Amino acid sequence: MTGNLREQLKQTALFAGFSDRQIDGVLAAGKERRFTAGEQIIRQGDDAVGFYLIVGGSAEVRSGGAVLARLGPGDHFGEMALLLENTHRTADVTALEDTSCLVVTQWEFRSLLAAHPDTALAVMTELARRLQSTPGTLSE
């Protein structure tokens, strides 16, 4: 992966509050995966077991034929798979061009959290922010 991956991670909302040590833990837990243009990265309905951070390239998120989002470097998807067991993908994600992702499975992530519990608080805070800003959610 590129040498500036640490900085890319720090610039994503999910990892912005992480220390260098926490970022190093995520990098150690993750694996690089490359997808060619047109290749499906995840399929709606499949078991969800990992989180993806786009390092290079771009992807499109679709559900029911509708485009929900276009993602590029620094964008991420699949974070709920890190926290919920026995969940399924809620959308298709397809590479629009040759795309590289950092992929962290729920098993690798849980090992990271066991070794660095402070990392869990940082992730939960960001996920709560994202949930709060999702249309249709209830707030107090």
pLDDT, tens digit (0-9, with 9 covering 90-100), for 25-45: 888 888 999 999 999 998 888
pTM for this entry? 0.77
pLDDT at 2: 42
pLDDT at 139: 43
pLDDT at 138: 43
Q: How far apart are CA 9 and CA 62, in angstroms?
A: 24
pLDDT per 10-residue tile (average), the chain, 140 residues:
69 76 84 95 84 91 90 84 74 94 86 78 73 57
Q: How far apart are CA 126 and CA 116, in angstroms?
A: 17
Q: Which of 101, 88, 98 is nearest to 12 (CA)?
A: 101
pLDDT at 123: 73
Give me the architecture of the 5-130 domain, per CATH.
Sandwich (2.60)
pLDDT at 130: 67
59 close to 41: Cβ distance less than 8 angstroms = yes
DSSP E strands, 28-74: 31-35, 40-42, 50-56, 59-63, 66-71
14 close to 123: Cβ distance less than 8 angstroms = yes
| Mean pLDDT taken over the chain | 81
What is the residue extent of each domain of the chain? Answer: 5-130
